[in-house]
Chains A and B, each alone.
Chain A
């Protein structure tokens, strides 16, 4: 059974700082997704990573995938308050099913 673990689960950081969220998964997969969720809202797709070594960047966020290590990272550069949200990684288990991590609640303080 595929398990997906994120860490940290809670992250409070200062504006302007850099930090990384880690997503580890337990079985082979080369398709991983990152989503953002604001309180009371749905999931917003951030990145789709479809191969080993994939790296994607959008603004202050950069995601990468290492399928050999079964690890994806979401790096935040020079954080701003607007990035405060809960971030989820999800691994495609196959058969059209995504398995989600627990989510990382990110709070960015001025």
Chain B
């Protein structure tokens, strides 16, 4: 059974550009979450989607956005990139929208902003 797949795995952008990251959840999983990992701030919640609806959003500026498609695949977008956006972006999926389900993480997309 395939795990959570994220693309691209590595990318380099310059300040002011925008970036789109993609996540394919485990087959049958309908909830997709995104997290940002940096050495300084650790792991921080970005947002969560279930059945194409954003149900929760973390404390990030509006430059960070996301969406989920009918096949549960998700994308996140960061516009007007800043140096501080350099991070590992992790996508995670769980089978249902209920509480307590195990969260499975992808390998991440490592973004470097120059």
Of the candidates B43, B56, B97, the one having the most CB atoms from chain A within 10 angstroms of its own CB is: B43
Residues of B within 8 A of A (CB): 31, 33, 35, 42-45, 48, 50, 55-56, 58, 90, 92, 97, 99-100, 102-108
Chain B residue at smallest Cβ distance from A96: B48
A42 to B108 alpha-carbon distance, docked (Å): 6
Chain B residue at smallest Cβ distance from A33: B103
A99 to B48 alpha-carbon distance, docked (Å): 13
Residues of B within 8 A of A33 (CB): 102-103
Q: Does A92 interact with chain B (Cβ within 8 Å)?
A: yes
Q: Of B43, B97, B103, which contacts A45 at CB under 8 A?
A: B103
Instruction: Assess whether B31 is in contact with A96, with CB atoms less than 8 Å apart.
Output: yes
The main secondary structure of chain B at its interface with chain A is: strand
Instruction: Assess whether A95 is in contact with B56, with CB atoms less than 8 Å apart.
Output: yes
A42 to B97 alpha-carbon distance, docked (Å): 22
Residues of A within 8 A of B50 (CB): 96
Chain A to chain B contacts (Cβ below 8 Å), 16 pairs: A31-B99, A33-B102, A33-B103, A35-B105, A42-B106, A45-B105, A90-B43, A92-B100, A95-B48, A95-B56, A96-B48, A96-B55, A96-B56, A97-B48, A98-B103, A100-B44
Instruction: Assess whether B31 is in contact with A97, with CB atoms less than 8 Å apart.
Output: no
Residues of B within 8 A of A42 (CB): 90, 105-108
Query: Across chains A and B, which 6 residue pairs bring their CB atoms closest together, nearest first?
Result: A100-B43, A96-B48, A43-B105, A95-B56, A42-B105, A42-B107
Given contacts A41-B107, A88-B43, A96-B33, contact A31 B100 (CB under 8 A): yes
Chain A residue at smallest Cβ distance from B43: A100
A88 to B42 alpha-carbon distance, docked (Å): 10
Instruction: Assess whether A95 is in contact with B106, with CB atoms less than 8 Å apart.
Output: no
Residues of A within 8 A of B104 (CB): 45
